[in-house]
Structure 1
Amino acid sequence: MATALPPTLPMDLRRDAERIFDLSLWCLGRDVLCPEGNLLLRRGLTRERPPGEQGHSVYTVPLPGGGILKLWGFGVLWDAGAEAVYLARDGFTPRMVDVASVSWPVFQVEGLGAMNEPRTFEARRDTRVAVVTMAEWFARHEEWVATHVGHAWREACFAERRKAPPVHADELAAAWWRLAVRVRALEFVVNDCTAPTVGA
């Protein structure tokens, strides 16, 4: 009988992550409208707009270790070439996307096609790597905003939001760094659970 794999991300982590992810996507939307100019473009992301009124603009940024991030108002995709992981704004549940079958550019979530849960140990490990990469990008973005625009801008973004934020404006980067550490720590838990018992 096959041993059941633990979830890719535990429920408590997904719950915490969803709150800061939703908040960060809200902030990215405000960054686009910054009076000092679109902060995403200033930071070096490229933008493609939908051809009509339907859909969301997509912002793309290359990652230092390889691969790219694609960001929309509805979610984020980590594309490493051979595989891609998508995180929807709601739920923070990673899904695998077959990028070879997608017609780019995509402006609506439906354009990403069918998505699947990572089912193998390797796919789940790669998915956690993707989540760590995304978390670290968001952390660095918040640090960049604080350095180049100042904390007052992020505080203004928070003030415009109706939902109560899960963290203070100057704590958002740290919240993403903590999330990256929590996801990385799952590798040790998974390895302990799947390692063969010696001397049994």
Structure 2
Amino acid sequence: MGSSLLHPLPPELRRDGERLFEVSMWCIGRDVSHADNLLLRHGFTRERIPAGQPGTSAYSGALPGGGALTLWGFGALCRVCGESIYVPRDGFSPAVVEEERVTWPVFLAAGLGGPREPLTPCEHSAARAAVVALAGWMAGYEEWVRGLMGAEWRHACFAARPKVSPVPAELLAVEWRRLAGRIEALERPVVVNESFAPLAGA
């Protein structure tokens, strides 16, 4: 069985997505610790962790083109195409969340009820659509932060990372849009150029 049937995203896209996601989530962590909490300023709402409970706060807002997004330090939940798709920070492998198994609010990944791999063609398409929507949101958010704070803020966030980033700060939004385009291409049928097709009987 081909890997395209086992996973909505091929390994190289999951690898590239994980690298971008790690950088962006680090930056968002800096944004929410800013005195002005940039994610709240961007229009998101926050569900705080109750005192003494482990986990991370949940931030919720809208996805571009429709749908909803919830962000935690450990990943993102995208509600698109009638499905709830969880994209973990570790691995970037989209999984289906069965919401009837979830008790909200959630502050730990374990609270999502055991996300499972997409099984049907519709679930695979929904998983890809979720990652495309997440990538579009990440790109737009980066552009908004740059417009609000100037390039210096992101450069400071990057400088504070313990590891060297795989992309420059000024290209983070560009790389998210590029990743979205690569994933969207998976949904397009392959068209054979008839002018290069072999002649009958050749």
Instruction: Flag whether TM exceeds 0.5 (same fold).
Output: yes
1:183 aligned residue: 183
1:35-114 → structure 2 map (5 Å cutoff): 35=35, 37-53=36-52, 54-80=54-80, 82-114=82-114
Q: Is the 1:139–1:177 Cα contact (8 Å) retained in structure 2? A: yes
- Return the offset for 1:6: 5.9
1:149 aligns with 2:158: no
Q: What 5-or-longer segments of structure 1 have no aligned partner? A: 194-200
135-144 or 77-86, which deviates more: 77-86
CA RMSD of aligned residues (A): 1.9
Instruction: Give the share of equivalent positions with the same residue, in percent.
Output: 51
1:162 aligned residue: 162
AA aligned opposite 1:171? L
Aligned residues: 189
7-16 or 138-147, which deviates more: 7-16
Distance in 1, matches of 2:17 and 2:67, equals: 22
- Return the offset for 1:126: 1.1
Distance in 2, matches of 1:82 and 1:126, equals: 8
1:134 aligned residue: 134
Distance in 2, matches of 1:27 and 1:69, equals: 17
TM-score scaled by length of structure 2: 0.88
AA aligned opposite 2:118? P
- Return the offset for 1:7: 3.1
Q: Is the 2:69–2:77 Cα contact (8 Å) retained in structure 1? A: yes
TM-score scaled by length of structure 1: 0.89
Q: What 5-or-longer segments of structure 2 have no aligned partner? A: 192-202
Distance in 2, matches of 1:151 and 1:161, equals: 16
Look at both structures and tell me which one has the larger radius of gyration over its CA atoms. Answer: 2
AA aligned opposite 2:160? E
Distance in 2, matches of 1:34 and 1:52, equals: 21
Cα pair distance change 1:82/1:7, threshold 3 Å: closer
Q: Is the 2:64–2:137 Cα contact (8 Å) retained in structure 1? A: no
Q: Is the 2:61–2:69 Cα contact (8 Å) retained in structure 1? A: yes
Distance in 2, matches of 1:34 and 1:149, equals: 11
Q: Is the 1:125–1:187 Cα contact (8 Å) retained in structure 2? A: yes
Q: Is the 1:83–1:99 Cα contact (8 Å) retained in structure 2? A: no
- Return the offset for 1:5: 2.4
